[in-house]
Structure 1
Amino acid sequence: MTQVVPEVAARAYLYGFPLVFNLDQVDRYVRAGVGANPAAPFNTFSHARTLAGPADTFVTINNDTLYSMGQIDLSVGPVALHVPDTAGRYYVLQFVDAWTDNFAYVGHRATGTAAGDFLLVPPGWTGQAPDGTTVIAFPTTIASIVGRWACSGTADLPVVHALQDATTLTPVDPGARPAGLPSPDPAVDASLLFWEKLRLWSQAFPPAPRDRELQDSFAPIGIGEKESPYTAPDEPTAAALRAGLRAGEKNLDTALTHGSSPEVNGWKLTLHAFDYNLDYFEVGALDDPRFQIADPTLRIIERAAAAKGGLWGNHAYEAAYIMTYLDERGEQLTGAHTYTLRLDPTPPVGAFWSVTMYSVPDFYLVDNPIDRYSIGDRTPGIVYDTDGSLTITISHTAPTDPTTRANWLPAPAGEFRPVLRMYEPAEAVLNQTYVVAPITRT
């Protein structure tokens, strides 16, 4: 390892953050589970049986759907996926590779809601799939299936549970054992563990060919070494790596809050935040220039910001996300004030929409006395205005007026960030002719 320049390390951090952050979450699901999703081995599903709540400490998790998470390791060879007939119910299985590329979709929009069979195959596979089976080629041997099932409440849970149980993963070779994630050298100091993970995992799960030259440019910090250079680095090298890490973290936070996404009425229109996949388009993933970031530098920055702010988010054509930190005055939203959001008209969608409350800076769901973490077109008891619009009250303290309370989205005492999700958004959302009003302090 040559002399480390902190500025190079800072750029390497932005490049490698999605891989490391993502695979840390993959490991978390396999070993410990997350909230309502119990731990499950590779090539099996972990099904959440309840809608997400504050105990589900995962960034920007939704409260609209039940999750079915599958961490896939194709070191065992092909794995068969079966999906049941959902009789028109919205669901999506989103396929995310190790570098966080959304490379395939199965579900309501992409493949319909009839029963179906798919064969998940590793990079370079050249075998023959059974008749009636759709092949999905994985860019990396480890990837995630992020399943979401529309659920309208407690009474709807048994139906969704049956659909989850009928969704299966079956390795073609039942005796094969997954290789899993390479383990970092235990001798590496915690302050340098990011670099050790990036070294191991970027070699085990190579990036897209277009990114290999960029990855090679970070060789001076040691990520291309076969043996770990981070177990006993000299102090100047260790200091430079730590400085690069700190600078990279600061740059990422800046990109997350002041990124390239356009802003209208305080809402960041992150309709293209997940458009960094330019290379892998399996079933359901659109190879469409409208959903591809052409600028190579911006692409890397947006990929890192998307991972930190909304890991495993969908392309906008599947589910559009917009979010805001600010009120109509341009000031940070906080539970010290009461706000209203008037949706006139309500979002045009092919499936459904919701506004979900998240804490800042963790982006977790917020505990509240009525256990309401989101409000949307499926929320029982909401009261529309006479013209069909909807006025949502956002506050930490509960409203006393019954109508206002029916439309209350509880907020934390501190700072917060709501996210508006639109599942299967209409073209007016994608071309930005549908405009959401600012959140107004009352």
Structure 2
Amino acid sequence: MAAGTAEAARGGGGPGQEELTALAAEAYVYGYPLVSGLSLVESCTQEGFGALAPAPFNHFSHADRPERPDAYPGFGGGDTVCSAAQLDLSGGPLRLHVPDTGGAYYVLQFVDAWTNNFAYLGSRATGTGSGDWLIVPPGWAGEEPGGVRGVIDAPTAVVSLVGRIACDGPDDLPRVRALQEQFSLTHVEPGTHRTGLPAPDTDVPERLAFFERLRVWTADFPPAAADRAYQDRFQPLGLLEEGPSPYVSAGPALVRALAEGMTQGRARVVAAGRSGAPVGGGWEMDPHLHDYNLDRFEVGTIDSTEWKISDREASYLVRAVAARQGLWGSHGYEVACAHTCQDSDGNRLHGAHSYVLRFEQPPPAGAFWTLTTSGSPESRPVGNPADRHAIGDRIPGLVRADDGTLTVHIGGERPAGPAAVNWLPAPDGEFRPVLRLYTPGRAALDGSYAFPAVELRER
């Protein structure tokens, strides 16, 4: 390995410059999820993330409020309160306790170091009752303790646990906060427990830092066996070398190939960005953005061809796009999100106007549905007396017509009369409504549900 890399770094032997650059671009696409995901793990443990305060490994961090839909970064959309825990299983299994939520929706999503969603606990997957679960590291062969509902076998020693609890508004926060305090993680086996990620070599130049992180973290968190043959192709780049970093004093040919390859790989990921498939009424939805997990299906996942990308190599690019657009997002069978940016005439939605959205049939969601508005970076959220940033089927007092039709009023100005209950404020600039379906029904996924168009009220 070292000889091949050294030859490439000197520019003699091994792959040519163009081939080396193309290989670096492929390595960027392949490794971007690992680097971005574990970089976020570091942020969560050191600086925090969004509404979540920093917390050490194997401890929960809980948000104290729903995140505004326009907040970035963050995991929420104004309808749930988030929790997260970064797990380090190198010291042995962890026992996770989940409380009884009394029938209220919640989900705990397990994400491995490569950003694969490999397990779910919660309303859809395991119900809302209390219980304990054992989370074990790769290759663990210990004895299962008594009193656990099941074992979750982690593909990597570091796992991100992302939780969301449904919240019906400010008055519901005390209930949610009380539930959060009941989630716990405890070590099962005595001993020393590592609390950190392997450190890249700080002497590596910044322009090569991505590949240094990929090299170090790949060694500690190997991918699924089926990915390793593909990963072996990156040997000429030095990504498989152990010990001292080959990037501290890399030759000019290798430096140029890695820098140019990263630029090309990043452009490839950006170009492959996905907005979703049309689902009617000007709406788009992409419930299959996170279907790249092909190997590990623990509790709560659906192991079927419908939710797996058939081409393994194609899944690497989808995985990179998902990491860029929706890192740690859920499978579409847990939460499906539809969005639009246009009215029924095809014009861009803008907060200077008022709109209506008429649901003749409620959105098909097994748990609940919520509509929020997301503005452009230059748009400003509109304040409102109720501090409302989401509307959905859990809002008390929504006004419906005699035939059951629900008309949501969207805009910067609060409508007069009873319609005010059905008002969803919009930013003052361009915006897009986002419709979240928690545990979406089959009609939402197979295209049989007719998403209504957003209609301009001012004609």
TM-score with structure 1 setting the length? 0.90
> Which position in structure 1 is the counterpart of 2:292?
276
> Which position in structure 2 is the counterpart of 1:105?
120
SS at match of 2:173: helix
Offset at 1:334? 5.0
Supply the AA of the counterpart residue of 1:38: A
Equivalent pair of 1:45/1:70 in contact (CA under 8 Å): yes
Equivalent pair of 2:292/2:319 in contact (CA under 8 Å): yes
Deviates more, 1:166-175 or 1:134-143: 166-175
Supply the AA of the counterpart residue of 2:40: Q
Superposition pairs for residues 6-21 of structure 1, below 5 Å? 6-21=21-36
Equivalent pair of 2:111/2:118 in contact (CA under 8 Å): yes
Q: Does 1:216 align with 2:242?
A: no
Deviates more, 1:115-124 or 1:432-441: 432-441
Q: Give a deviation string over 1:81-139, Cα, whole Å, max 9, x none.
A: 11122221111111111111111111112111221111110001111112331111000
2:319 aligned residue (296, 303, 308): 303
Shift of the 185–412 alpha-carbon distance from structure 1 to 2, 3 Å rule, reads: farther
Equivalent pair of 2:94/2:188 in contact (CA under 8 Å): yes
The whole-number CA distance in structure 2 between the counterparts of 1:421 and 1:326 is 17
SS at match of 2:57: coil
> Which position in structure 2 is the counterpart of 1:147?
163
1:66 aligned residue (73, 78, 81): 81
- What's the Cα RMSD here? 2.7
2:94 aligned residue (76, 79, 82): 79
Supply the AA of the counterpart residue of 1:272: H
Supply the AA of the counterpart residue of 1:367: P
Supply the AA of the counterpart residue of 1:398: E
Shift of the 426–55 alpha-carbon distance from structure 1 to 2, 3 Å rule, reads: closer
Offset at 1:405? 4.9
1:255 aligned residue (269, 272, 280): 272
> Which position in structure 2 is the counterpart of 1:315?
331
Deviates more, 1:36-45 or 1:325-334: 325-334
Equivalent pair of 1:270/1:323 in contact (CA under 8 Å): no
Supply the AA of the counterpart residue of 2:382: N
> Which position in structure 2 is the counterpart of 1:184?
200
The whole-number CA distance in structure 1 between the counterparts of 2:348 and 2:235 is 41
Shift of the 229–357 alpha-carbon distance from structure 1 to 2, 3 Å rule, reads: farther
Q: Give a deviation string over 1:389-413, Cα, whole Å, max 9, x none.
A: 3333444x33454556544433444
The whole-number CA distance in structure 1 between the counterparts of 2:159 and 2:253 is 36
SS at match of 1:304: helix
Deviates more, 1:36-45 or 1:398-407: 398-407
SS at match of 1:96: strand
SS at match of 1:75: coil
Q: Give a deviation string over 1:167-200, Cα, whole Å, max 9, x none.
A: 1100113542224212222223333322222122
Equivalent pair of 2:338/2:436 in contact (CA under 8 Å): yes
Deviates more, 1:92-101 or 1:373-382: 373-382
The whole-number CA distance in structure 2 between the counterparts of 1:216 and 1:404 is 61
Identity of aligned residues (%): 47
SS at match of 1:143: strand
Q: Give a deviation string over 1:44-71, Cα, whole Å, max 9, x none.
A: 1111121113795325632211112111
Deviates more, 1:27-36 or 1:411-420: 411-420
- Unpaired segments ≥5 residues, structure 2: 9-16
Offset at 1:414? 4.6
> Which position in structure 1 is the counterpart of 2:13?
none
SS at match of 2:143: coil
Q: Give a deviation string over 1:212-239, Cα, whole Å, max 9, x none.
A: 1222223333322223233343444334
> Which position in structure 2 is the counterpart of 1:22?
37
SS at match of 2:245: coil
1:369 aligned residue (383, 390, 396): 383
Q: Does 1:423 align with 2:438?
A: yes
> Which position in structure 1 is the counterpart of 2:408?
392
Supply the AA of the counterpart residue of 2:239: I
Equivalent pair of 1:59/1:308 in contact (CA under 8 Å): no
The whole-number CA distance in structure 1 between the counterparts of 2:70 and 2:54 is 15
Q: Does 1:245 align with 2:262?
A: yes
The whole-number CA distance in structure 2 between the counterparts of 1:70 and 1:141 is 14
Offset at 1:7? 3.0
How many residues of Structure 1 are paired with residues of Structure 2 in the alignment?
A: 438
Work out which of the two has the higher radius of gyration on C-alpha atoms and give 1 or 2: 2
The whole-number CA distance in structure 1 between the counterparts of 2:241 and 2:392 is 50
Q: Give a deviation string over 1:282-326, Cα, whole Å, max 9, x none.
A: 111121222111122332222122222222222222222223345
SS at match of 2:108: strand
2:173 aligned residue (138, 157, 163): 157
Equivalent pair of 1:36/1:56 in contact (CA under 8 Å): no
Equivalent pair of 1:74/1:142 in contact (CA under 8 Å): yes
1:198 aligned residue (214, 232, 246): 214
Supply the AA of the counterpart residue of 1:103: F
The whole-number CA distance in structure 2 between the counterparts of 1:347 and 1:102 is 25
2:303 aligned residue (287, 311, 328): 287
Deviates more, 1:262-271 or 1:289-298: 262-271
SS at match of 2:440: coil
Equivalent pair of 1:60/1:309 in contact (CA under 8 Å): no
The whole-number CA distance in structure 2 between the counterparts of 1:139 and 1:64 is 31
Supply the AA of the counterpart residue of 1:94: Q
The whole-number CA distance in structure 1 between the counterparts of 2:259 and 2:434 is 33
Shift of the 175–322 alpha-carbon distance from structure 1 to 2, 3 Å rule, reads: same
2:395 aligned residue (358, 366, 379): 379
Equivalent pair of 2:373/2:426 in contact (CA under 8 Å): yes
Equivalent pair of 1:79/1:119 in contact (CA under 8 Å): yes
Equivalent pair of 2:415/2:423 in contact (CA under 8 Å): no
> Which position in structure 2 is the counterpart of 1:53?
68
Offset at 1:338? 4.9
> Which position in structure 2 is the counterpart of 1:38?
53
